[in-house]
């Protein structure tokens, strides 16, 4: 599902993935939409659990994205 998180999946990716998972293309699209919506929420929740009192979630997320972008 990585192409959908990066928002660069195309129609052929959907068809291939649907076939590999034994799902319809519509089911893949629905799951990708839900994943794309929930993934940032889950990442924020996990990062939030690592913060000490008074730390900023927004600042920590900026640091995380900066670190990921440099790779």
Q: Could you say which DSSP state residue 52 is in? A: P
Please determine, for residue 5, whether its predicted confidence score (pLDDT) is greater than 70: no
pTM: 0.60
The predicted pLDDT at position 36 comes to 82
b or e along 37-52 (b: 16 or more beta carbons within 10 Å of the residue's beta carbon)? eeeeeeeeeeeeeeee
Non-local (6+) Cβ contacts of 39 within 8 A are 5
Non-local (6+) Cβ contacts of 47 within 8 A are 57, 60, 61, 64
Span 13-52, pLDDT tens digits: 788 888 999 999 899 888 888 888 898 899 999 999 999 8
């Amino acid at each position: 599902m990585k192409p959908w998180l990066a928002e660069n999946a195309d129609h052929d990716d959907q068809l291939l993935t649907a076939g590999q998972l034994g799902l319809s293309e519509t089911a893949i699209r629905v799951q990708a939409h839900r994943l794309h919506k929930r993934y940032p929420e889950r990442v924020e929740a996990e990062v939030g659990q690592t913060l000490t009192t008074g730390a900023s979630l927004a600042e920590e997320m900026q640091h995380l994205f900066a670190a990921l972008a440099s790779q």
